[in-house]
Amino acid sequence: MEYLDTDSVRLSNDENSVIIIDQTKLPSETVYLSLNTAEEIFDAIKLLKVRGAPAIGICAGYAVYVLAKQMRANSKDELVSRVQKIAEYLGSSRPTAVNLNAALSRMTNTLCNAQGNVCELLEILKAEAVAIHEEDIAMCRRIAKYGLTLVKSGDGILTHCNAGALATSRYGTGLGALLLGKEKGYDFKVYVDETRPLLQGARLTAFELDRAGIDVTLVCDNMAGYLMSKGYINAVFVGCDRVAVNGDTANKIGTLSAAVLAKHFCVPFYVFCPSTTIDYSIPDGNAIPIEMRNGEEIRSMFCKRSIAPDVKCLNPAFDVTPAELITAIVTDRGICRPPYTASLSSLIC
């Protein structure tokens, strides 16, 4: 499996399934799943078999097409009604990542605005799903180019959670600049937070960077302050699942802590995202819904037996980093800097 040639989500050759890499099995196994039903796709998103805001959006696009083919609708009105119900169902699987519902809305709106018989409408849905995927590949490449201008060869980079090709397509967002830099001969020293409770940094980011031949060191989440105090970190690179108009950003739980430490030690803190991840409908991070997950992910996930007593667990999947802690937000349309209300708004002009 060549790193940059891997699609974490794709349409099957017969166009009857959505094919994903089961990210819960990495790094010990590379398992491809064929998803054929709405329930299978819902569970794959909910259980993080497919994860990362852009990857979820790609999955949603292909899911609508695959499921629409199965509906055997007799008219456009019937097809639209059924697709809207499926989109509502899939959209409830994870509330924080804006790309999921954005992709579902894009697919349903495309269908509503299209003309033709049912067969022609299905082809239009397929083309739209493919466009969502191809646009993400191009966006990740542009993000990587912008991001690479912020660092130099030899820099030490801290990253939190996973924002590589597994979470998007090909280059990724937060890891894209590092992978592109590797291609161009840059030597980075990347420190990867394990990212509890799901260990997506340890299982996925470390896996991806190692496969790409990048110098990677895995660290515990509570080591970031130590690394910064010793001068090991020149920049922090993270992805995100949603950005508010004022620049407040939701990313995997623990990102806020890294941002606070970076501010204290005067380390630049960069957020990477496609422009589609910016939610212009919400003014600030207080309006971002935070997904709460099963506490067993803290007590026993990846362990044969529980590592904690039977006590209450609090397990939010994300936290919100205030805009004032973010040095810049790197998008496919350019690098945005404070004040974000102005710079982010300029992207839609």
CA atoms within 13 A on the CB side of 92: 7
Closest CA to 201 of 239, 233, 231: 239
Percent helix, strand and coil across the chain, each to the nearest 5: 45, 15, 40
| Residue 177: strand, helix, or coil | helix
Specify burial of residue 149 (Cβ count, 10 A radius: 0-12, 13-18, 19+). exposed
Q: Active site residue: 193, 221, 241, 319, which one?
A: 241
CA atoms within 13 A on the CB side of 284: 4
The pair of structure tokens assigned to 251 is: 């990313």
Question: Other C-beta atoms within 10 Å of 175: how many?
Answer: 32
Q: What are phi and psi of 81, to 5 degrees?
A: -60, -45
Residue 161 in contact with residue 202, Cβ under 8 Å?
no
Residue 31: C-alpha distances to residues 28, 93, 232, 287 (Å) = 10, 22, 35, 36
Residue 6: C-alpha distances to residues 1, 9, 52, 155, 170 (Å) = 7, 9, 15, 27, 6
Q: Is 310 a catalytic residue?
A: no
User: Which amino acid is located at 237 in the chain?
Assistant: F
DSSP 95-159: SS-HHHHHHHHHHHHHHHH--S-HHHHHHHHHHHHHHHHHHHHHHHHHHHHHHHTT--TT-EEEE
Residue 290 in contact with residue 250, Cβ under 8 Å?
yes
Cα of 276 vs its chain's centroid, Å:
11
**Peptide bond between residue 274 and the one before it cis (omega within 30 degrees of 0):** no
Cite the active site residues. 241
